[in-house]
């Protein structure tokens, strides 16, 4: 979405809640446009804090072909990017399509990296390897990314662990409290690493 705001951010909600990655653009030949970026960067970082999620931001100095009229040095751009923890690129939209394309590809890569990072907070699974001493209150394990959701209301001596990666998957046997009390009662066999829905 192109915000198309002329001087300052307007109705930010319409893109803040919608976007996964932000490109903040100024013209290297226009100091005012560079100064206007501060407001956008502030708003995006406030938004990220509010939702406790890091949205990648790329700061983009456009009109590199206007070098002779440059009002914003590359180090100005780098300092601003460093302040807000974002990446800086300088491009010429009218002369160099590939550099613009590269920035968009980078934006998508950054977004994927962020999503993968947030996936490292993995959902829980159950194992009987180290039984707990007390009953655990059944809790729905709801993953933000829909990876796992289950309740453990028949399992009293189970242990809760993070799901290992599929490469580490192996068979484990989980017994219900009823099964443990009866020697030949059926047990439930799970493949470690598989999600339980």
Ligand X SMILES: Nc1nc2c(ncn2[C@@H]2O[C@H](COP(=O)(O)OP(=O)(O)OP(=O)(O)O)[C@@H](O)[C@H]2O)c(=O)[nH]1
Query: What residues line the site for ligand X (CB under 6 A)?
Result: 2, 4, 62-63, 65-66, 92-94
Q: Which two tokens stand for residue 114?
A: 């962020």
Q: Residue 29 Cβ, how far from ligand X at the closest point, in Å? A: 8
Q: Which of 10, 44, 7 is nearest to 24 (CA)?
A: 44
Q: Which is nearer to ligand X, 63 or 175 (CB)?
A: 63
Q: Which is nearer to ligand X, 62 or 176 (CB)?
A: 62
Q: Residue 62 Cβ, how far from ligand X at the closest point, in Å? A: 5
**Count of helices and strands (H, E) across the chain:** 5, 7
Q: Which is nearer to ligand X, 31 or 192 (CB)?
A: 31
- The dihedral through the CA atoms of 175, 176, 182, 186 has a sign that is negative
- Please, which residues have CB within 8 angstroms of residue 14's CB and are 6 or more apart in sequence? 1
Q: Residue 83 Cβ, how far from ligand X at the closest point, in Å? A: 22
* Chain centroid, CA 13 distance in Å: 19
Q: Residue 88 Cβ, how far from ligand X at the closest point, in Å? A: 16
Q: Residue 16 Cβ, how far from ligand X at the closest point, in Å? A: 18
Q: Residue 97 Cβ, how far from ligand X at the closest point, in Å? A: 10
Q: Which is nearer to ligand X, 23 or 126 (CB)?
A: 23
Q: Which of 156, 155, 127, 122 is nearest to 141 (CA)?
A: 122
**CA dist., res. 46 & res. 50, Å (int):** 6
Residue whose C-beta lies closest to ligand X: 93
Q: Which two tokens stand for residue 57?
A: 């931001």
Q: Which is nearer to ligand X, 47 or 70 (CB)?
A: 70
Q: Which of 104, 79, 80, 84 is nearest to 21 (CA)?
A: 104
Q: Which is nearer to ligand X, 2 or 98 (CB)?
A: 2
Contact status, residue 22 vs residue 37, Cβ threshold 8 Å: no
């Amino acid at each position: 979405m192109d915000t198309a705001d002329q001087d300052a951010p307007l109705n930010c909600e319409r893109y803040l809640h919608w976007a996964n990655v932000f490109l903040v653009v100024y013209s290297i030949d226009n100091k005012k446009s560079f100064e206007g970026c501060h407001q956008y960067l502030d708003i995006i970082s406030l938004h990220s804090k509010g939702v406790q999620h890091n949205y990648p931001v790329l700061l983009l100095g456009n009109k590199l072909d206007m070098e002779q009229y440059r009002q914003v040095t590359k180090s100005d751009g780098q300092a601003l990017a460093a302040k807000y923890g974002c990446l800086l690129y300088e491009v010429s939209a009218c002369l160099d399509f590939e550099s613009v394309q590269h920035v968009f590809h980078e934006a998508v890569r950054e977004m994927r990296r962020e999503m993968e990072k947030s996936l490292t907070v993995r959902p829980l699974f159950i194992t009987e390897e180290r039984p707990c001493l007390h009953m655990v209150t059944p809790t729905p394990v709801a993953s933000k990314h829909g990876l796992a959701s289950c309740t453990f209301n028949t399992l009293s001596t189970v242990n809760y662990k993070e799901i290992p990666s599929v490469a580490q998957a192996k068979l484990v046997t989980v017994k219900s409290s009823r099964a443990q009390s009866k020697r030949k009662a059926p047990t439930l066999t799970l493949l470690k690493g598989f999600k339980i829905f």
